[in-house]
């Protein structure tokens, strides 16, 4: 029995995307692969409206690999890691595990990281990189990366800005050149609405210049190696997941057809409807004005059993998510990303109303 996924990821994958992965394989050093991969890179350029100063990459891995890429290829000596949830904390700890120094800018879970908080820390002049999670799925908080990027370009132009947008990219409106970030990355199992296995990263020329100055970048985590290999051969340096790249190629066609603005407005409509529902029956965990566009984290103010809810939702072929880590049963999360639309969100919320007897 298939349960339609409304968790923060992996999200629902259509039969069409699953079929794309059943095509015959091609050699990853063949002309056919170069054409496939180059086409995907060009479509990423178009969707994110990238100037020539940004380089898209697609690596066979989870998005978490980019924590290590930032730690091994971007951070020279010391990073400031903004931590307002589980995944932003993990980003900073991964950089520590790469042997770099890290200080944490700790913000209460549920609250957003503001530009003035960062400025207070960067003023010391001891950091060469800032890391932040754009869309913190553990709390449903959307950090103001455009405002943060503007402040950093103006006041701290030598500090690299690395953004985890694993659960935000595509669903939310992202224009890296307007944000002013140096690295931003995501995974295919979130808003791309594909199975896990590919990490999409967009890196600036500044990031590549920095990486060339950083020793001991490893191999799989060497951003210079990845980007230079594409420039020379229009391929990936390591064996890629060709089957999933077929699906990503098709997904990019569909995203471009819908248009970036259309995709964003669809996600925004789902978010607004879900948030209104949550406030009518419960409360939102995220700070007002900083709610995610792709996942809503709801305060379980009525003390309902999320586990029992999911058991009953499973009978109706749906699944949402409990709170993450220390927020289990204190919150629950509804993912509205990928191929979902407003009609589907209304349907699952009706089922929750019915199971919990919430009424109107």
Q: Give the pLDDT mean for 176-190.
A: 98
The CATH number of residue 268's host domain is 3.90.1150.10
* Sign of the dihedral through C-alpha 305, 306, 307, 313: positive
Query: In the sheet that 129-133 helps form, which strands lie side by side, from edge to edge?
Result: 54-60, 198-204, 183-187, 160-164, 129-133, 78-83, 101-106
Nearest Cα to 152, choosing from 174, 112, 123, 111? Answer: 123
* C-alpha to C-alpha distance for 86 and 117, rounded to whole angstroms: 19
47 and 175 in a common domain: yes
* Domain endpoint, select from 209, 236, 257: 257
Residue 29 three-state SS: coil
Instruction: Summarize pLDDT for 113-163 with one digit per residue, the tens.
Output: 999 999 999 999 999 999 999 999 999 999 999 999 999 999 999 999 999
Tell the residue number behind the tokens 């879970």, with chain if given. 109
Preceding peptide of 10 cis, ω within 30°: yes
Tell the residue number behind the tokens 């002309």, with chain if given. 31
Instruction: Summarize pLDDT for 6-37 with one digit per residue, the tens.
Output: 999 999 999 999 999 999 999 999 999 999 99
**CB atoms near residue 31 (< 10 Å):** 10
Preceding peptide of 179 cis, ω within 30°: no
48 and 112 in a common domain: yes
276 and 225 in a common domain: no
The CATH number of residue 236's host domain is 3.40.640.10
Tell the residue number behind the tokens 């455009």, with chain if given. 146
| DSSP assigned state of 333 | E
Per the structure, the count of domains in the chain is 2
Q: Is the pLDDT of residue 359 over 90?
A: no
Return mean pLDDT, the chain.
97
């Amino acid at each position: 029995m298939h349960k339609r996924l409304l968790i923060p990821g992996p999200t629902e994958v259509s039969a069409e995307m699953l079929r794309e992965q059943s095509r015959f394989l091609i050699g990853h050093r063949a002309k056919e692969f170069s054409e496939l991969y180059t086409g995907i890179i060009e479509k990423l350029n178009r969707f994110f409206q990238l100037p020539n100063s940004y380089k898209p990459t697609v690596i066979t891995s989870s998005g978490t690999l980019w924590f290590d890429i930032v730690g091994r290829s971007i951070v020279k000596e010391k990073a400031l890691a903004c931590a307002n949830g589980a995944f932003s904390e993990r980003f900073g700890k991964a950089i520590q595990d790469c042997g770099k120094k890290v200080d944490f800018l700790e913000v209460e879970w549920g609250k957003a990281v503001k530009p003035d908080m960062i400025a207070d820390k960067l003023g010391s002049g001891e950091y060469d990189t800032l890391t932040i999670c754009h869309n913190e799925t553990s709390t449903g908080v959307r950090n103001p990366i455009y405002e943060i990027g503007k402040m950093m370009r103006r006041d701290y132009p030598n500090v690299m800005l690395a953004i985890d947008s694993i659960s935000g990219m595509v669903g939310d409106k992202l224009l890296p050149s307007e944000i002013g970030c140096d690295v931003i990355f995501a995974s295919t199992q979130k808003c791309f609405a594909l199975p896990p296995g590919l990490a999409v990263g967009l890196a600036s020329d500044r990031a590549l210049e920095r990486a060339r100055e950083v020793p001991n970048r490893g191999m799989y985590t060497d951003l210079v190696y990845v980007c230079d290999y594409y420039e020379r051969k229009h391929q990936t340096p390591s064996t890629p997941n060709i089957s999933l790249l077929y699906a990503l190629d098709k997904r990019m066609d569909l995203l471009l057809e819908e248009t970036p603005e259309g995709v964003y407005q669809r996600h925004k409509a789902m978010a607004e409807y879900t948030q209104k529902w949550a406030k009518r029956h419960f409360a939102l965990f995220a700070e007002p004005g900083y709610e995610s566009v792709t996942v809503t984290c709801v305060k379980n103010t009525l003390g309902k059993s999320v586990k029992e809810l999911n058991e009953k939702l499973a009978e109706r072929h749906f699944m949402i998510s409990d709170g993450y880590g220390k927020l289990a049963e204190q919150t629950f999360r509804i993912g509205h990303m990928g191929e979902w639309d407003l009609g589907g969100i209304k349907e699952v919320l009706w089922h929750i109303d019915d199971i919990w007897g919430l009424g109107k």
